[in-house]
Structure 1
Amino acid sequence: MSVKYGILTLLYKQKNHGYELKLELDSLLGTKGKINPGQIYTTLDRLIRDQLVSSAGIDHQERKLYELEPKGKEELEKWLLEPVPYNTTKEDFFFKWSCARKIQFHEEQRMLEQQKTLIIQEVMELTQLKTEFLLEGDETKYLLTTGMLFHLDADLNWINQVVNRNR
């Protein structure tokens, strides 16, 4: 996740102060983690330097406000249109599995079963989160979690196919 583009996204429709940007970025990240507050201010300084964001004065609580500049809007829209390379754990595992096959690793089945167990655990955790997001009415997180579950399901199907071929 790019803090830069997260901040540009959050400033797209309204001015905001650093702490609110941090809270909103944490929300955007969802299950991926939290942002260090220092990252927010360091990134804001760079965005101001690059003329993508500017200082917009202070709010009624004496907090410094930031706003998106036209150049920042262009940068964000350009980034949003760039395709994202597909990179998943399965691809990392596929490489590891290919290496195991190359050396005829005697514990290939164990590797596959361990990976399968990890995926099933992730599916269970994400299924619980998906339900929580649905009950909370958070459609964005619900749909993102659903997409992650579809990817994990495909990974699990692939491992099952490999296991069945090895028997």
Structure 2
Amino acid sequence: MRRGAVHWGLLALFSDGPKYGYQLRTELDTRTGGMWTLNVGQVYTTLERLHRDGLVDTVGQNDEGRTMYAITEQGQAALAEWFATPVTGAERSRSELAMKLAIAVTTPHADVTGIVQAQRVESMRQMRDYTDLRRRADPEQEQAWMLLLDHLMFALESELRWLDHIEATVLRRRRAAGSPAPAPVDRRPGALAEAAEQPPAAGKR
């Protein structure tokens, strides 16, 4: 049975000793710098599945009456296997942005260039935010958080290169087909930076 990242992330938290449900939620939030926050219901649902599958077991209650869980030998073996197994293409390919653009390039009248430009501005805004967060992080106390930020920043750099590739490919094919080219995009660094400084649209954080 295929298990998701939440399943493994919570199981890994038991490596340093027994824990109760809400403690798992707090520790996951702390270790990921708030980037991977779960509600209490998700935590307890996952914890029930870990217990059902024999990966954790109850070990009594703490002084406050909370049920404590600890990783089992079966859980330790499964966790070791997860750490040793590379992430496959199936986990990487489920991207809303990839799906949006894959559909847009084959949809009549879809403004692919506009979609690309809007995403570029948003990705640059995110890059600026992550850069600022990393600058303010404590290298001694927040190493895991900094590594997560590095991952997000490298992913954004790759995304921006991919957006450039899509835009160039669409323009080339439109020219080859004799279709009118879209209005030119102001790609000057200053212009993009000004756009990135604009506040997010209503309903976006």
TM-score tier, shorter chain, comes to 0.7 to 0.9
Provide structure 1 residue ranges, at least 5 long, that are not aligned to the other structure: none
Q: TM-score, normalised by structure 1?
A: 0.80
For 1:38 and 1:162, the matched residues in 2 are separated by 40
Q: Which residue is equivalent to 1:144?
A: 148
In structure 2, relative to structure 1, the CA distance for the partners of 1:95 and 1:15 (3 Å cut) is closer
The Cα offsets for residues 130-165 of structure 1, whole Å up to 9 and x where unpaired, read as 223246730111111112111211221232345456
> Does residue 125 in structure 1 map to residue 129 in structure 2?
yes
Q: CA deviation at 1:39?
A: 2.3
> Unaligned regions of 5+ residues in structure 2, if any?
172-183, 185-205
Which of the residues 105, 112, 120 maps onto 1:108? 112
Q: How does 1:48-63 map to 2 (within 5 A)?
A: 48-63=51-66
Select the structure that is richer in helix: 1
TM-score normalised by L of structure 2: 0.68
Larger radius of gyration: 2
1:11-22 paired onto structure 2 within 5 Å: 11-22=14-25
State which drifts further: 96-105 or 39-48.
96-105
Q: What value does the CA root-mean-square deviation take over the aligned residues?
A: 2.7
What amino acid maps onto 2:130 in structure 1? L
Give the aligned partner of residue 66 of structure 1: 69
Separation (CA, whole Å) in 2 of partners of 1:54 and 1:15: 9
Q: Partners of 2:166 and 2:128 in 1: how far apart? A: 22
Distance 1:31 1:83 in 2: 25
- Residues 19 and 162 of structure 1, relative CA distance in 2, 3 Å threshold: closer
Number of corresponding residues: 166
Distance 1:17 1:97 in 2: 43
Identity of aligned residues (%): 27
